[in-house]
Amino acid sequence: MANAANGAMQARKYAFLSLGAAIATIVLKLVAYWLTDSVGLLSDALESVVNLAAAVVAIWALTVASRPPDDEHAYGHSKAEYFSSGAESMMILIAAAGIAYTAIERLYSPRPIENVWIGLLVSVVAAVLNGGVAWVLLRAGRTLNAISLRADAHHLLTDVWTSLGVVVGVVLVNLTGWLQLDALIAIAVALNIIWAGWRLLRDTANGLLDIGWPAADQARISEALTPYRAQGIDFHAIRTRIAGQRRFVSLHVLVPGDWSVQRGHMLCEEIERQLRGIGTQITVFTHLEPFEDSASWEDQALDRVEAPTSAP
């Protein structure tokens, strides 16, 4: 539990980095919009406002996630991170709607773009800043298993690609003189943001629904249990779930019925140590069971699955 709290506190430090980057890029992109009067650059600036709000929510969520377990939250507060990713996904979708509305309005009332090269230079500087921070957050999010940092990193990367697309579009508007292209690019930016928001919302829902470990990580569990199977030990009812930065695995350990309680307990302790060693912040639950009872357990489980649902 202490490791989970420490991990959340470390992730919180990176969230402050995201906050500072969001403030800096908002200022830069608004300056670029003020210089050019490009609705494409305005849409880019509005997305950075979402980054700022998301960073604030992430700091709050990680502060809550760092709290130790208490009487009402025996497993800790790690799921608070999903409030951050869920709120960010909703803000992304709202920002996309605002961008699309502004772009459609400008599509019917196009205006020339001014001070193109100076404005674009400012926008490129903001994109480079976002790209650097996204790289740092992505590495930290993977190391700490922090969905809030990964969500922020992926959003910043989307922001970088958005900025580059807007820059290319503004250059094309300047070269071709087709003013409506600025608004069309802003609409494309809005659609891209909607896609990013939807993916983030899906990941948040999976987390709240206790999604299991990825297949590659479950394979590592099987590898850790293989030496015990070679000794005649067996396992079933292996279940995994992810809750914020924490991971849980439970399993039944099948041993000969004539084993002593002490011998079975020592084996379970050893297995739990092995499974905790395959990653960080892993909690393992084992249930010792004699081979003689495993068949009846499986029959009961099958009966529960196949039992017909009675009509209301």
Considering the domain architecture, whether residues 118 and 246 belong to the same structural domain is answered as no
DSSP letter string, 45-95: HHHHHHHHHHHHHHHHHHHHHTSPP-SS-TT-SGGGHHHHHHHHHHHHHHH
Looking at residue 226, which CATH number applies to its domain?
A: 3.30.70.1350
Query: Which of 187, 208, 229 finishes a domain?
Result: 208
Range 123-145 average pLDDT? 82
Is residue 312 domain-resident?
Answer: no
- Of 265 and 294, more confident: 265
CATH of the domain at 168: 1.20.1510.10
Do residues 56 and 180 both lie within one domain? yes
> Is pLDDT larger for residue 143 or for residue 132?
132
* Alpha-carbon gap, residue 245 to 78, rounded angstroms: 6
233 vs 77, higher pLDDT: 233
Q: Are residues 275 and 187 in the same domain?
A: no
pLDDT at 302: 43
Which of residues 142, 175, 208 is at a domain's end? 208
The answer to pTM > 0.75 is no
| Position 275 pLDDT exceeds 90 | yes
The model's confidence at residue 228, banded by pLDDT at 50, 70 and 90, is very high
Residues 94-104 have pLDDT tens digits of 777 777 777 78
* Residue 218 predicted with pLDDT over 70: yes
Last residue of a domain, one of 193, 208, 223: 208
Domain that holds residue 267: 215-306
Q: How many domains does the chain have?
A: 2
Q: What is the mean pLDDT of the chain?
A: 77
Average pLDDT in the 8-30 region?
Answer: 78
Q: Is 203 in the same domain as 300?
A: no
